[in-house]
């Protein structure tokens, strides 16, 4: 999965954004498990961008709540 930009995140409606957030959290969880096992080599640089994507999506969800 690639990096999500704010422009892309803003196109999602609330339901789609929640679904995408769930998917990204699952991906992050799987990568963290691989990291603790010691089998995460090539994908070690994907952890930080996934965390940032989650933060962007959470920010957008909070913005939608305030509207």
Amino acid 29: pLDDT: 96
Amino acid 40: pLDDT: 80
Task: For the full predicted model, state whether its pTM sits above 0.85.
Answer: yes
Residues of the chain with pLDDT under 70: 1-2
Break the chain into its structural domains and give their ranges: 6-66
Which residues fall within 8 angstroms of residue 18, CB to CB, at 6 or more apart?
Answer: 61
Compute and round to an integer the Cα radius of gyration of the chain.
13
Long-range contacts of the stretch 24-28 (C-beta < 8 A, 24+)? 24/50, 24/53, 24/54, 24/57, 25/54, 27/1, 28/54
The domain defined by 6-66 folds into Helix Hairpins (1.10.287)
């Amino acid at each position: 999965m690639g990096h999500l930009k704010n422009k892309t995140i803003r196109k999602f409606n609330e339901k789609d954004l929640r679904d995408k957030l769930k998917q990204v959290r699952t991906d992050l969880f799987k990568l963290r498990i691989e990291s603790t096992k010691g089998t995460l080599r090539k994908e070690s640089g994907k952890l930080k961008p996934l965390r940032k994507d989650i933060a962007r999506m959470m920010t957008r969800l909070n913005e939608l709540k305030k509207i």
